């Protein structure tokens, strides 16, 4: 068989883009001569992130339906037809051997057109509550790689393979000791340390929480590594001190994870998968502003396994201090949460997804042979 060609689509958010890039990287490692093409939505972040990772990308004129009546909704049928025609041309020109979708609007037209051409399709669903695009595409897919149990609610059972979500390779083996990690941030050894994460851009409500509770947190003897996000750094950098490290963005997350004893985080699928690998006690504060409230459902899936705590944004003012202080004071609770979240880690996710892709390639080659 000659060189393989892989077409991948996933976008709109980092939660769809980074898994697609991780899958492409593993395919490239196994098939160095393969050709790759990504397909995204024209005005979304994948148009910048994918070329930065070294892959070509084509853009479709596509977006989702708004929840209320807007001009954008009136354009939706035109955008959809335009995207389907464009996707058909891309598939015809590139002639992929396999199409891989990781969610997001652009993957809908692309995988639909690939399936029509008889190209085997693999879906990867990151969340415990399946996204609308993947639910619509399920009938076209040969395999659907998931990260949670119970996904037969959304997809045909015989197509599901539980692989977990792709995570950054540098987090699979955290070979950094705690003292080295603390010294990286200029923090003291022998003190409990909290890591606060709100995603690369930051989370306004989590930042407001930390600002209002900083004195309370420090009075418990806790030091803080606070990733407040690029959008909010100017507002919060004034809190930097010998016990508080305020960062716009943490480039070397492996140091942050090794340094800390507990974590406050959003509950996006990528974050949840990383934190399972890290194996530290986590309080999730899900974003209520995401499609189908999937962050809450992700956090609830972990709570059901006694693997994390969750506080909804609306409960932070009333419940945060009680929940946080109980966690800080109970070594046994910290241990239980850490052990249980670690059990859910699936460090070989990317390799397993690519194994499924290769099975389809072999099946296709076998039919030709």
Instruction: Output b/e per residue, 307-330; b: 16+ Cβ within 10 A.
Output: bbbbbebeebeeebeeebeebbee
Secondary structure (3-state) at 176? coil
Q: Which residue has the tokens 């060189």?
A: 3
**Does 295 count as an annotated binding residue?**
yes
**Does 63 count as an annotated binding residue?**
no
The torsion angle over the Cα atoms of residues 52, 361, 119 and 10, rounded to 10 degrees, is -30
**Does 362 count as an annotated binding residue?**
no
**Does 168 count as an annotated binding residue?**
yes
Q: Please give the helix or strand (H or E) that residue 101 lies within, else none.
A: strand 98-101
**Does 150 count as an annotated binding residue?**
no
Instruction: Output b/e per residue, 244-255; b: 16+ Cβ within 10 A.
Output: bbbbbebeebbb
Angstrom distance (rounded) from CA 6 to CA 37: 6
Secondary structure (3-state) at 174? coil
What is the separation of C-alpha 63 from the centre of its chain, rounded to a whole number of angstroms? 20
Q: Which residue, 198, 220, 218, 199, is CA-closest to 208?
A: 198
CB atoms within 10 A of CB 171: 17
**Does 204 count as an annotated binding residue?**
no
CB atoms within 10 A of CB 238: 9
**Does 127 count as an annotated binding residue?**
yes
Q: Are 194 and 48 in contact (CB under 8 A)?
A: no
DSSP 206-218: HHHHHHHHHHHHH
**Does 250 count as an annotated binding residue?**
yes
Secondary structure (3-state) at 196? strand
Q: Are 311 and 320 in contact (CB under 8 A)?
A: yes
Q: Are 229 and 201 in contact (CB under 8 A)?
A: yes
Angstrom distance (rounded) from CA 94 to CA 6: 9
Angstrom distance (rounded) from CA 242 to CA 264: 20
Q: What is the chain's length?
A: 369
Binding site per annotation, positions for UDP-N-acetyl-alpha-D-glucosamine: 13-15, 127, 168, 200, 250, 295
Annotated binding site: 13-15, 127, 168, 200, 250, 295
């Amino acid at each position: 068989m000659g060189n393989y060609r892989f077409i991948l689509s996933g976008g709109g958010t980092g939660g769809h883009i980074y898994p697609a890039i991780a899958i492409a990287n593993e395919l490239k490692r196994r098939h160095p001569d393969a050709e790759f093409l990504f397909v995204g939505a024209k005005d979304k972040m994948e148009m910048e992130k994918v070329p930065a990772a070294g892959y070509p990308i084509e853009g479709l004129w596509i977006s989702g339906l708004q929840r209320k009546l807007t001009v954008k909704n009136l354009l939706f049928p035109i955008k959809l037809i335009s995207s389907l025609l464009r996707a058909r041309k891309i598939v015809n020109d590139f002639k992929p051997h396999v199409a891989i979708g990781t969610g997001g609007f652009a993957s809908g037209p692309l995988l639909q057109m690939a399936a029509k051409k008889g190209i085997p399709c693999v879906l990867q669903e990151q969340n415990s509550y399946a996204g609308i695009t993947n639910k619509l595409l399920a009938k076209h897919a040969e395999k659907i790689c998931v990260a949670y149990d119970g996904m037969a609610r959304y997809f045909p059972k015989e197509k599901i393979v539980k692989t977990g979500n792709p995570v950054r390779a540098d987090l699979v083996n955290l070979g950094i000791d705690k003292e080295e990690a603390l010294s990286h941030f200029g923090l003291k050894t022998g003190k409990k340390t909290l890591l606060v994460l709100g995603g690369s851009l930051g989370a306004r409500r989590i930042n407001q929480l930390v600002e209002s509770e900083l004195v309370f947190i420090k009075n418990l003897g806790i030091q803080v590594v606070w990733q407040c996000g690029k959008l909010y750094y100017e507002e919060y950098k004034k809190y930097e001190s010998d016990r508080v490290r305020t960062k716009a963005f943490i480039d070397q997350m492996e140091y942050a994870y090794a340094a800390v004893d507990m974590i406050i985080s959003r509950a996006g699928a990528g974050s949840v998968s990383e934190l399972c690998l890290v194996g530290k006690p986590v309080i999730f504060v899900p974003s209520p502003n995401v499609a189908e409230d999937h962050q809450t459902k992700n956090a609830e899936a972990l709570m059901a396994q006694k693997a994390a705590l969750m506080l909804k944004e609306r409960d932070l003012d009333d419940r945060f201090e009680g929940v946080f202080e109980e966690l800080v004071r109970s070594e046994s609770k910290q241990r239980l949460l850490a052990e249980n979240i670690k059990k859910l880690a699936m460090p070989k996710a990317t390799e397993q997804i690519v194994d499924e892709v290769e099975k389809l390639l072999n099946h296709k080659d076998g039919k030709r042979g």
